[in-house]
A and B are shown apart, each in its own frame.
Chain A
Amino acid sequence: MARPVGEINAGSMADIAFLILIYFLMTTTMDIDTGLARRLPPYEDTQEKIEINRRNIMVVLINKSDRLFAGNQPMEIGMLRETVKEFIMNPTDHPNKSVIERKAIPGIRGEVPVSKGVISLQNDRGTSYNAYIAVQNELVAAFNELRDDFSRMHFGKVYTALDDDQQAAVREAIPQTISEAEPKEVGAAKSGGR
C-alpha cells in the first residue's frame, strides 16, 4: 500500500541559505585589482651606454621632498602632462625637443610621424610612493592621450575602441617610452626600510 509522502518542512531552508550567504560575505572580497602596468628593463651586469641624442631625452626627476623637475625646470604636477605631450610630438619642430621621424606602419595609410623621444623617470630613495605614482600616472596619461588623438585622426575612434591589429599599429606609432632609470643616490637620507 503506497502511502502519500509527507511534505518536508522547508522552513529552515532560509536560515541555512542565510548562513552560507554570510559565510561568503565574510571570506570573499569584491575589490577588482587595478594598477599601472609597467615593464621593467632586463637586468644587466655590465652597464652598456646606449647612445641617445641628448635632445631626445626628457628627464623627469622627483627629489626627496617630492618636488618635481622636468627637463631641468621645476614644475607643478598639473603641467607635466602637457609638457610631456609637447616634448614627444614636438609640433613646433623645436630644436631642444624630440626628433620626429616619418615612418610607414602596416595598417595605417601613408607615413606617420614617429617620435624618438624618451622620458627618463628618476627618483630619490626618499621620494614618497604617492608622489611617484602621481607622476607615473601623469606620464601614462600623456601617452594615452596622444594615442587617443592619433586613433581618432586615423580610425575615427578612441584607442580602447579599436581592434587588436589597429591597437598594435597605434602602439607602434606612439610607443610608450618611459624609462625607469637605474637607481642612484642623489643626496638623500637613506631610508632604513629593509
Chain B
Amino acid sequence: MAKFARKGKGGLPRINTASLPDVVFMLLFFFMTVTTFRETEQIVTVKVPDATEAVKIDRKELTCYIYVGVPVQQLQGQYGTDSRIQLNDKICTIDEIRDFIASERESKSEADRQLMTTSLKVDRDVRMGIVTDIKQELRRCSALKISYSSMIPL
C-alpha cells in the first residue's frame, strides 16, 4: 500500500515566484515586436468597410494616412457632425492635402518617393463626393498609389 505522507503541518507551501519576471519579460518582448506605435490620435471616427480582396500594405514607413469621418463626440461642437478630413492631428480642408502630401514626400528618401502609398481610411458611411474630391486632389499632386483601407472580414 502506498502511503500518503503529509508534508509539514497544515498551510500551503509558498509558490516560487523567481521565474515570474522572466515570464513577464517574455510577454513584454512579444508585444514590443508584434505591435506598432500609434502614429496619430484619431479625431474623426473611422470604421472602415469590409473587403475580402484587401491586401497588406507592405511598406508601412512609406505610407501616409488620410482619415475621413465624422469628428468624435467631444469635438462635434467645434467641427460639426458632417464628415471631415483629418491629416496628422488636425481637421483640414481639401486644399491642405497638397501641402500634406508635399511634406510627407519630403520626409521620405529620394529613391522611395515613387513608392509612397496614400492610405485612405474612410468611414463606411461617408458619401463618395468628399472621397472623389480627395482623389482628384491626389491626382493633381501625382500621389497616384493609393489604398482604400478596408478590413478582411473574419
Question: Which residue from chain A places its CB closest to the CB of B32 in the assembled complex?
Answer: A24
The one of A30, A38, A43 that contacts B148, using a Cβ cutoff of 8 Å: A38
Q: Does A78 contact B (CB under 8 A)?
A: no
User: Given A14-B20, A29-B35, A144-B53, do A183 and B136 touch, yes or no (CB 8 Å)?
Assistant: yes
Q: Mark B126-147, 1 if CB is under 8 A from A, else 0.
A: 1111111101101110101111
Contact A42 B142 (CB under 8 A): yes
Q: For residue A125, give the distance in angstroms from its CB to the closest CB of chain B.
A: 3
Among A52-60, A101-109, A129-137, A150-158, which stretch is in contact with chain B? A129-137
User: Given A33-B56, A36-B147, do A194 and B130 touch, yes or no (CB 8 Å)?
Assistant: yes
Q: Does B4 contact A (CB under 8 A)?
A: no
User: Given A129-B126, A133-B49, do A193 and B146 touch, yes or no (CB 8 Å)?
Assistant: no
Contact A21 B31 (CB under 8 A): yes
Contact B144 A34 (CB under 8 A): no
Q: Does B102 contact A (CB under 8 A)?
A: no
Contact B127 A35 (CB under 8 A): no
Number of interface residues of A (CB under 8 A): 50
Q: Does B54 contact A (CB under 8 A)?
A: yes
Contact A35 B130 (CB under 8 A): no
| Chain B at the A interface: SS class | mixed
Q: Collect the chain A residues with CB atoms within 8 Å of residue B21's CB.
A: 10, 13-14, 17
Q: For residue B76, give the distance in angstroms from its CB to the closest CB of chain A.
A: 14
The one of B31, B127, B136, B148 that contacts A193, using a Cβ cutoff of 8 Å: B127
Tell me the complex Cα distance, A52–B21, Å. 68
Q: Does B63 contact A (CB under 8 A)?
A: yes
Q: Does B27 contact A (CB under 8 A)?
A: yes
The one of A43, A130, A180 that contacts B142, using a Cβ cutoff of 8 Å: A43
Q: Collect the chain A residues with CB atoms within 8 Å of residue B83's CB.
A: 193
Contact B36 A125 (CB under 8 A): no
Q: Collect the chain B residues with CB atoms within 8 Å of residue A115's CB.
A: none
Q: List 12 A-B contacts (CB under 8 A).
A: A13-B21, A17-B28, A34-B57, A34-B152, A36-B54, A36-B148, A38-B146, A43-B139, A128-B128, A133-B50, A141-B53, A193-B83
* Closest 4 pairs between A and B when the two form their complex, measured CB to CB: A125-B129, A28-B35, A35-B147, A13-B21
